[in-house]
Structure 1
Amino acid sequence: MVRGLSRRNIFWLKALIHLLSLGWASLTYYRAGTDQLGGDPVEGILHFTGIGAFNLLLLCLIISPLVRWSRISQFMQVRRLLGLYAFFYALLHLASYILFELQLEWQLLLSEIVKRPYITVGFSAWIILLALTLTSNKAAQRRLGRNWQKLHNWVYLAAGLIALHYIWSVKSDITQPLVYIGMLLLLLSFRKDKLLKLWR
């Protein structure tokens, strides 16, 4: 018989997620502010926050297969937290781009979204993650009813757009983006029956 996780285990697992997500972000911004992040700290920040958002989203997608494999349903209790931090990192990514790269030139942001395909798909993914974050609570789930699941199935599209944003934004070596795309395709393969139903 598979033993589940206790409330204490879940508490400490959530505490670890908070500590790593907030601590790593704080340390990276501190290093950028003190010239310890290489020759191009802005690029370092953008890469860190973008990869962080992608990593956390992939962790969200790992939860369901992990529950099926381990038969420990309590892992589902951390999925929402991982999703919120995925959006938090995506928000840092967008905010850092606007603040450091565009110098708060909002008209330039609109121009970039329209003219640069990798920014178009990245911003589209951000909008989806925003919608999922705003409706991630139980009140929204009750209010939306069956439509809640339909809305949150858009996470798969968001993940695909993020992968596309990543590989299009890389100027030379695409090895790492391809690895991430491979991991995403692997995780989506565990949901192939569900995805086929969504396309029907």
Structure 2
Amino acid sequence: MDAPAGVPIQLQRGPVMTTPERLTPVLDAALDGTGLLLDAVTVSPAGKRRVVRVVVDHVLPDEGITDWPTDPLSLDEVADVTHAINAALDAGDVMGEAPYTLEVTSPGVTRPLTERRHFRRNVGRLICIVGAGEIVTGRLLRVTDDALTLHVAGTKKAPPHDVELALGDVGRGEVQIEFNRKDAAGDEPDDSDEEH
């Protein structure tokens, strides 16, 4: 309905829409100097509240070869960054007035590996690579600026061997969960001290 001439129209605004795009600069600022980076952020409704899920990861050097496993985030690191993020969200108006629950976590093993840094984080793990029309499963040995090296276990038809894949040919990777993995050296547990 049109208002009579000269009468101001009053617009009613709904609640502030919080989107990952609006949150990203605030979260990046909260993480600055922590040695962690923002991996992902989602905002989803949960009844009358919203759930803000923030995934953080260690910052790794941009270039060079990674051929050693990286340490996972510690519980203390997650707790510290949760406090920093919570303080940053409370200090600004990016969340609006509606209540929310903050969840901060590290990337899980089920996260698809799609970026070089994802592969670098998983050196030493058994992964499955899909890309260039083939599927390769092997232990990730090394990540360079432009390639991955996997150690593929032997089969009846082929001996164990290393495979190098260009990062540009890799579509995605997935970490394979291992429940009974031998130690990193591939040795069986030492039973020499057991009494017989």
TM-score (norm 2): 0.26
- Structure (1 or 2) with the larger CA radius of gyration: 2
Higher helix share: 1
Q: Which structure's residues are more often strand, by fraction?
A: 2
With normalisation by structure 1, the TM-score equals: 0.25
